[in-house]
Amino acid sequence: MSNSQTTTAGIGAGPRSALSAWAHHHRQAALISVDKLLREPIASFLTVLVIGVALAVPSLGLSLAATVQGEISQIDAPPQLSVLLGQDASLEDADKLRTEILRKPGIADVKVVDRDSALADFVSATGLESLVQKLNRNPLPHTLWVYPSANTRLAGIEQLQVDLGSLAGVSQVILDSRWLERLNAFTDLLRTIAMVLGVVMSVGVVLTLGNTLRLGIEARRDEIVVIKLIGGGNAFARRPFLYTGLLSGALGGVFGGLLSGAALLMLDGPVKRLFDLYDQAPSVPSLILSELLVLISIGAILGLISAWYSVQLHLTRIKPR
């Protein structure tokens, strides 16, 4: 018999190297895991769905928080101050006060809004022309819109509010910054909730997938006993389960990315309508490749952790008799 025939038959080929055997066993374990997922499509889909939802919810929350925070940083800031003059103040007094305020440090610009223009804008915005016509006089005062410098901190703006309120002829100074503080607080709350949900759901993923793998270990108890009887250790027996957890988690990351991307598309309109109220034109980000890869990586890591936890807990209890 020739050498080629001997090699083809597998006789005399010699033992595999340690590295080749290691790679062969891992390839076999991966194929077994893929085959198991395909043989149980409904159970596999439900597992992947749970992982996907668990990853999509915190990812969506963090994406929205990042979008809102980015738009807040682009809103004209610091907020303007509205300086309301007394009813007896004339337009000339408003111009003089404007010149005086411009000399103060930290002031970028001051705009005078006369009472007639303010009333016309009010009528245009509300449509209450008939009501305004019944008034004996214009109830609105002359107003100065004061724009602090862009690098002015909130504490400095609040002090400026106090200083402007002490000027002669000034009736009231309004600082409209509470809405911005509320929006920032809401963004921080949304980010915190997303992170807490991410941690809680990650634990849920580990426990859920771990329980699924425990059932798989129990279903293959006889096979694992045979593997240990012929000299296979725990490392050899757990490889298919580790690959099952890894693949399930990675597929869950893909599904979570698709869910998050679809939700972002649905929320694009409402978020734009919200920021239209602040004269902003935001664009809710769509799912990008880097974020999808992050979700896949997180899902794969969670799946691997879950598989390792479940296998270490249950596989060592199976011993040949």
pLDDT (tens digit, 9 = 90+) per residue, 140-170? 788 888 888 766 666 677 787 788 888 888 8
The H-assigned helical ranges of the chain are 3-9, 18-39, 41-74, 91-102, 115-126, 129-133, 154-165, 178-219, 221-229, 234-276, 289-314
Residues 165 and 47 in one domain: no
Flag whether 14 is in a domain: no
pTM of the predicted model over 0.75: no
191-245: per-residue pLDDT in tens? 888 888 888 888 888 888 888 888 777 777 777 777 767 766 666 777 888 888 8
pLDDT band at 72 (very low <50, low <70, confident <90, very high): low
Position 19 scores a pLDDT of: 76
Flag whether 11 is in a domain: no
Position 10 scores a pLDDT of: 42
Residues 190 and 309 in one domain: yes
Residues 23 and 94 in one domain: no
Residues 190 and 170 in one domain: no
Residues 113 and 40 in one domain: no
Flag whether 3 is in a domain: no
Residues 225 and 297 in one domain: yes
Cα separation of 48 and 56, whole Å?
Answer: 12
Provide φ and ψ at 14, rounded to 5°.
Answer: 90, 160
Residues 197 and 283 in one domain: yes
Residues 158 and 114 in one domain: yes
Q: Name the average pLDDT for the chain.
A: 77
23-66: per-residue pLDDT in tens? 777 787 788 778 888 888 888 888 888 889 888 888 888 887 77
Flag whether 211 is in a domain: yes
Residues 116 and 220 in one domain: no
Residues 189 and 168 in one domain: no
Domain that holds residue 86: 81-176
The more confidently predicted of residues 41 and 180 is 41
The more confidently predicted of residues 14 and 167 is 167
128-145: per-residue pLDDT in tens? 667 666 666 777 788 888
Flag whether 277 is in a domain: yes
